[in-house]
Amino acid sequence: MSKLFKISALLLIIAMLLSCFVACSDTSGEDGSAAPSDSETERETVEVPSFEETGLLALFANGEYTLKVIRSEYADSTDTDAYAALRDALKRKTKANPAMATDFVAASEEKYDGPAILVGDTNYEESKTINEKLKNNEYAAKLVGNKYVIAYKCPEGFDAILRKIRAKLNSADVSLITIDESWNFEGTLEDISYVPDIAGGWDESFDGGQSSTYCIKEESNLEEYEAYLEVLAENGFEHHSGSRIADCAFDLLYTDKTIAYLMYFSDTKLLKLSMDSRKVFSLPTLEKDNVYEKVNDATITQVGLGDSINNGMLYISKMSDGSFIIIDGGVSSGYIYDSLVKLAGREDDIRVAAWLITHHHQDHAEGFKKTSEKYADKLIVEKIIHCQPRATQLEPGEGSDYEQVKNRIVDGIKNFKKTNPDLEQIKAHPGMEIYIRDAKITVIATIDTVEPKIISNVNNASMVFRMEVGEKSIIFLGDSEQMQTKPMYKAFGEEYFRCDALQLAHHGYGNTNTGNDSHVINVASKATVAFCPVSTYHLTADGANVLGMPQNFVFFRNPDVTVHFGGEDNVTLDLYTLEQRGERWEPKG
């Protein structure tokens, strides 16, 4: 009996366990249908609010986007960068790619009028309404109907909006993200000065690179130029300096935040304005502030950089107070430092009053960067003077390594600032006058000369300038080529290019009747001294093929011109007489 009882009890326990198991595994609902799984419960759909009824613009619901992100078909780099940054922020939150589009409408299609985020200067009226009201240092993001408009005039404006959008996304429930009036933002960038409008409005306004805003007015004249000078003054800009070359006009004004450089080119009737941040750039030295004590004679040395045409160009002027002006630098730091040591007579505390960089190609600016890496603690550098093009101004082939080549200058400045915290940058513009010890530097051409054209070669963004010392003047052409040479010659006229000495453009290349037209400046200069930053090897039959210079070059055949070639050795001239000082001496590198 007891055995039977035990078996019955065991069977009862098994039955109870089976009943419990069946109950736990039953997936049917009360009506017999399958009950939802946990994953299906998580994917339960949410109701997408109607904008017309709720005023809420649905951005993301039920695992997908409910609107498009739209930019202009003709977006500039600022807008395309903003467009990409917004996409990345949305994807980071939702783990999904938003629907991206441009405002292009084919002839056979109707314009999209559904819910959208409009980025930058699109052709939608909602964008136009807000963008037209913004000043260059303002930004706004606003819900307008079923469009969320993001408007700004510079990258910093978009960055301010994006920070606020990210904060809204971080606090949102990913199952349903909506945009309401709490997403409306507007503000003013304190570090960027307002650009006052000009009568009739600017024809073009864009990011000028190097923390600058650039504006262009077409079909302008000197009367409008003078009137705008008054507008700047009325807006708190103080006049610093100015110059007039032929019928062209140039003036620098400033506030505590911004340098406003105004330019008028009579040949093209273009009025141009560059607004440069004083957080980055300094004012050029005025004549009254250029105080120094004479302790030696002033000289200029053309440094020989070897036979290779790729070694570049380097000029070192020793001013009468013992400081130096360096022009470019070639590809090596050794030539720069060793020449400075010989000229200064010491290895440390060598004062560089100014370093001028004509353009950022390797054979002109790499030596600057390498010197900053190896010898920054040996030098006291006061000023760097340069003007580089923006990335969007270069054709694809020339712009493909823009960041890399630009950083020759950017990184060099950063390195020098570690040991020279008071180092100043001056952004050069045509007509600008800068006083440095014995020398008066007048900038003749920069990228401003060809702005807003797209350039295929950075050579056409060379900083061309005149150095005047006493009664002598030297014009440095950098690597300026036809696209830049022609307009500056046309704008200023033949007489303006008269000088005592001339640095031949692009290492002498094209200084012929059929070259890059720099020969017109060579002839106009009537110079008796020429600097050709290349070895005489390139005047031989073999070298001519490398450099592309035939033997009948116009300038070198002038018996009244003394041509100093760089390459094998260094030559030093007196800056006040342009006569050779001592024997040519061997460079070290």
* pTM, two decimal places: 0.75
| 24 Cβ contact partners less than 8 Å away, ≥ 6 residues apart | none
pLDDT at residue 8, rounded to an integer: 59
DSSP secondary structure code for residue 311 in this structure: G
Cα separation, 389 vs 455, in Å, equals: 9
Strand arrangement of the beta sheet that strand 258-265 belongs to: 204-209, 212-217, 270-277, 258-265, 248-254, 238-245
Question: pLDDT per residue over 315-348, tens digit each?
Answer: 999 999 999 999 999 888 989 999 999 999 999 9
CA-CA distance, 457 to 399, in Å (whole number)? 9
pLDDT under 70 in the chain at which residues? Answer: 1-43, 77, 191-193, 309, 396-406, 510-519, 537-559, 587, 589
390 backbone dihedrals φ, ψ, rounded to 5°: -80, 160
What does the pLDDT read at residue 537? 67
The one-character DSSP state at 120 is S
Q: What does the pLDDT read at residue 81? A: 84
* Residues sharing a CB contact under 8 Å with residue 513, sequence separation 6 or more, in sequence order: 519, 554
Q: What is the pLDDT of residues 474-503, one digit of tens each?
A: 999 999 988 898 999 999 999 999 999 999
